Structure formats: structure tokens, C-alpha cells
């Protein structure tokens, strides 16, 4: 083969990887810990179940923690690292300040349960524990169960500056969403499926207040919002409301991981603009309509999407390690 062709092809591949730094991941596999901690999934599931019994907030908090982790430097548990005097970590970036403490606590408690088994101590990464815990909270809240690919190492860096521009904003349109997800190797279908995680959890009023009071000069209230739903939100989130006040993301079944999210979008009851746009934009509307009536189609797509999400930016070898404490570097 011509050497110039080989060089050109190599440069093309390198350029592609530079444009999409998180689409190439290490090889993960199921039952990765079979020889060192064979019962790890049961241990994690039991610990997560105890946490969810204590508070249902842990469900959405854990799912959101996984998403915020994977979209910034890949799925390496770097979002769990605590800041120090010399380093402002990812979790203290403004986009991460609303991450609920119960998500972090779910991982920390599962890690403690795993390390309580002598043969498992310091053998299972925090990144993998977060991936398993995410699957478990989804299943415990009525969503699909699925096999989790394992073998991630924990990241060795966590900087607040790395978060900037990596997470979707509540007002994003479909093009902005597709661009951000594509940069992580995820399709529009994957994006719509993962957005359904908004079927559980809460949001602070400030994240969507512009849709209620100052959407535009012509329409102070976003016209894509159902009028009754808008009035309900205004009663829950009046102007100058206490910034700590929250409302449920899903007004119908806020504690159940189900396809109600898509039915809500059909009725103009998407809480964020980025939710409602999935129905108002004709490019994604057919997917919403399909999944609003087919649980099996939605769950199949969701499992595929969250599995792909879990492959983003995986660390191996010297690029990572297994933390003794999920919140601090070794």
C-alpha cells in the first residue's frame, strides 16, 4: 500500500478522534469482576435498594449523576471528586451544583458495601459502581432491567473548567441537543430515549421560570405549554419564589420510570423547553408518538442508549485507577 495513502488515512483517523474525543472507548464486558468479586452486582443492588427505601430522591439523583459524569471527560466518576484548596472539581461547576446529594450518597454507600467484602475491597471502580447503581435505581422505579458492561477505571483528574459547554441547557433546541449528543457518539434516537429520564425527579423553579413569565414579548408564557399545566406551574413557582422550591418533572407519575414522559410531551406538559421540543419539532415527534404507546419499543431503545452512554470516554490502564475513596484521588 502506498505510504502516502497510509499517512493520509492515519491523519484522517486522528482528526476524527480529535473532533469526537469520547466516541472511542475501551472494551467493556459483562461479568468483568467474575474472578475477583463475583457477587458485586448483588452487593450493589442491595445497597442501592436500601438507599431508595430511605428516599425516592435517590432514583433521579443517581441517574442524573451518571449522565453528568459521562458527558464530562467520560464515565470515570470524576464528578464525585470533592474540591480541595488547590483544585475546584467538576461537582462545583454551576451546572453541577443542583446535583442532589442523595445521588453521591448512593454511590458512596454501595462502595462501602462492596469494600466490606474482603475479596472485593479496592477491586471495583467507583465508575462501575455508579453504572450499576444507575441500572438498579431505574429497575427499582419500574424501568427496564439490563446487563451492565463493566471494566471502567476511575479518572485521575476533575476540574470545574472541563464542565463548561459539555452539558445541555434547559432551553436547548433539537439541533443543539443533537450536536451535543453526537459529540458523545449518541444519535437523535438515543437522545430522545435518554431524555425520558425526566420521567422521575424534580427541578428548581428557576430552571424553567422563563417559560412562565418572560418567554417572549408577544407571549410571556411559552405557547407550547398546556395552559392548565402552565397555570399549575405558576401557582407552584410564583415570581420571586424561594430558589430552593422544586416541582416534579413528571406531573403524572413522578416516582415511576415509565413512558408517561412521552404522553406528557404530546399534551404540552414537558417541563423544560428541551423536553417539549422533542414533540414540537417534526423531526423527533414520530419517535415521541411511537414510544408514547409502546413500552417495549421505548425500553429497548433506552437500554441501547444508556449502554452506549456508559461507553463514553472510558479510562483504562495508566489513564485511570480504582479509588479507595470515591470522593478523593488516591
Which residues line the annotated binding site for substrate?
168
Q: Reply yes or no on whether 204 is catalytic.
A: no
In the set 45, 51, 64, 68, the catalytic residue is 68
Distance from chain centroid for Cα 73: 13
Q: How far apart are the first and last CA of the chain?
A: 47
User: DSSP string of 142-162?
Assistant: T----PPPB-PBBPS---GGG
Enumerate the known binding-site residues for heme b.
198
Neighbours of 245 (CB within 10 A): 13
Enumerate the known binding-site residues.
69, 72, 74, 76, 78, 90, 168, 198-199, 250, 258
Q: Is the dihedral of CA 256, 262, 267, 272 positive or negative?
A: positive
Neighbours of 204 (CB within 10 A): 16
Contacts (Cβ under 8 Å, ≥6 apart) of 112: 47
Q: Is the dihedral of CA 317, 323, 326, 327 positive or negative?
A: negative
Quote the strand ranges of 76-200, DSSP E: none
Cα–Cα distance list, 293 to 72, 148, 173, 255, 319 (Å): 33, 27, 24, 20, 44
Which one-letter DSSP state was computed for residue 84? Answer: B
Enumerate the known binding-site residues for Ca(2+).
69, 72, 74, 76, 78, 90, 199, 250, 258
Q: Bridge-partner residues for 315, per DSSP?
A: 153
Distance CA 96, CA 105 (A): 15
Contact 107, 131 (CB under 8 A): no
Contact 111, 129 (CB under 8 A): yes
Query: Which amino acids are annotated catalytic?
Result: 68
Amino acid at each position: 500500500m502506498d505510504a502516502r495513502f497510509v499517512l493520509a488515512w492515519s491523519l484522517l483517523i486522528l482528526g476524527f478522534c480529535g473532533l469526537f474525543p469520547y466516541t472511542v472507548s475501551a472494551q467493556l464486558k459483562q461479568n468483568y469482576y467474575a474472578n475477583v468479586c463475583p457477587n458485586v452486582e448483588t452487593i450493589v443492588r442491595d445497597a442501592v435498594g436500601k438507599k431508595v427505601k430511605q428516599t425516592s430522591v435517590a432514583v433521579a439523583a443517581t441517574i442524573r449523576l451518571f449522565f453528568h459524569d459521562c458527558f464530562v471527560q467520560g464515565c470515570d466518576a470524576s464528578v464525585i471528586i470533592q474540591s480541595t484548596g488547590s483544585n475546584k472539581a467538576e461537582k462545583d461547576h454551576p451546572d453541577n451544583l443542583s446535583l442532589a446529594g442523595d445521588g453521591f450518597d448512593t454511590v458512596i454507600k454501595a462502595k462501602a458495601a462492596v469494600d466490606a467484602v474482603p475479596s472485593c475491597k479496592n477491586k471495583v471502580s467507583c465508575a462501575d459502581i455508579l453504572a450499576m447503581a444507575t441500572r438498579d435505581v431505574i429497575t427499582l422505579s419500574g424501568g427496564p432491567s439490563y446487563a451492565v458492561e463493566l471494566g471502567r477505571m476511575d479518572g485521575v483528574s476533575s476540574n470545574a473548567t472541563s464542565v463548561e459547554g459539555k452539558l445541555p441547557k434547559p432551553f436547548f433546541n433539537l439541533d443543539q441537543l443533537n450536536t451535543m449528543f453526537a459529540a458523545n457518539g449518541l444519535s437523535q434516537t438515543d437522545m430522545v430515549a435518554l431524555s425520558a429520564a425526566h420521567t422521575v425527579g424534580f427541578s428548581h423553579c428557576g430552571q424553567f421560570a422563563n417559560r412562565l413569565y418572560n418567554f417572549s414579548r408577544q407571549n410571556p408564557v411559552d405557547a407550547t405549554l398546556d395552559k392548565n399545566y402552565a397555570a399549575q406551574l405558576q401557582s407552584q413557582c410564583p415570581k420571586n419564589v424561594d430558589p430552593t422550591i422544586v416541582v416534579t418533572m413528571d406531573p403524572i407519575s413522578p416516582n415511576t420510570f415509565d413512558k408517561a414522559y412521552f404522553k406528557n410531551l404530546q399534551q404540552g406538559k414537558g417541563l423544560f423547553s428541551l423536553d417539549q421540543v422533542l414533540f414540537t419539532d417534526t423531526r423527533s415527534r414520530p419517535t415521541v408518538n411511537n414510544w408514547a404507546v409502546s413500552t417495549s419499543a421505548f425500553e429497548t431503545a433506552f437500554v441501547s442508549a444508556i449502554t452506549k452512554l456508559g461507553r463514553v470516554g472510558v479510562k483504562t490502564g495508566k489513564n485511570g485507577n480504582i479509588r479507595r475513596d470515591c470522593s478523593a484521588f488516591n
